[in-house]
């Protein structure tokens, strides 16, 4: 009786092993971007200086990406978070608008032109 159960038991275990062997795989990318800070400029020159300086910085052209990857024998997890350009813009506005009144003056923009790249390196 036991000898007749061995092939059935062996084939059942083999079938179970095949059914449960596999890889758990998760790949997720999350794009997040905050709302742009509302800002105005006291003059065209202030706005032009601000935007030209921001566009010249290395950070303005790069996306910020955070990646977490876990690779085990049967588990593969890949999680990416990508921040959009509004975060860099908001950081620049907070840095430039020293009195936080929502208006960037020519004097604030002039300081921003000289100090922003140094602050970002």
What would the DSSP string read from start to end of 28-45? EEEEE-PPPPP-EESSHH
- pTM value? 0.58
* Nearest CA among 13, 14, 20, 16 for reference residue 74: 20
3-state secondary structure of 70: strand
Tally of CB atoms within 10 A around 16? 10
Secondary-structure breakdown of the chain: helix, strand, coil percentages, each rounded to the nearest 5: 50, 25, 25
The pLDDT, as a whole number, for residue 60 is: 47
**pLDDT tens per residue across all 121 residues of the chain:** 556 667 777 777 766 665 555 566 777 777 777 889 999 999 999 999 999 999 887 654 455 667 777 767 667 778 777 777 788 899 999 999 999 999 999 999 999 999 987 555 4
**Structure letter (DSSP) for residue 69:** E
């Amino acid at each position: 009786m036991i000898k007749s159960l061995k092939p059935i038991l062996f084939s059942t275990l083999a079938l179970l092993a095949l059914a449960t062997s596999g890889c758990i795989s998760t790949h997720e990318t999350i794009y997040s971007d905050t709302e742009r800070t509302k800002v105005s400029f006291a003059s065209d020159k202030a706005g032009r200086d601000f935007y030209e300086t921001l566009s010249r910085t290395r950070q303005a052209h790069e996306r910020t990406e955070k990646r977490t990857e876990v690779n085990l024998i049967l588990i593969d997890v890949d999680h990416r978070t990508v921040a959009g350009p509004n975060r860099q813009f908001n950081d620049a506005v907070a840095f430039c608008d020293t009195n936080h009144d929502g208006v960037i003056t020519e004097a604030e923009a002039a300081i921003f032109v000289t100090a922003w790249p140094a602050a970002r390196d």
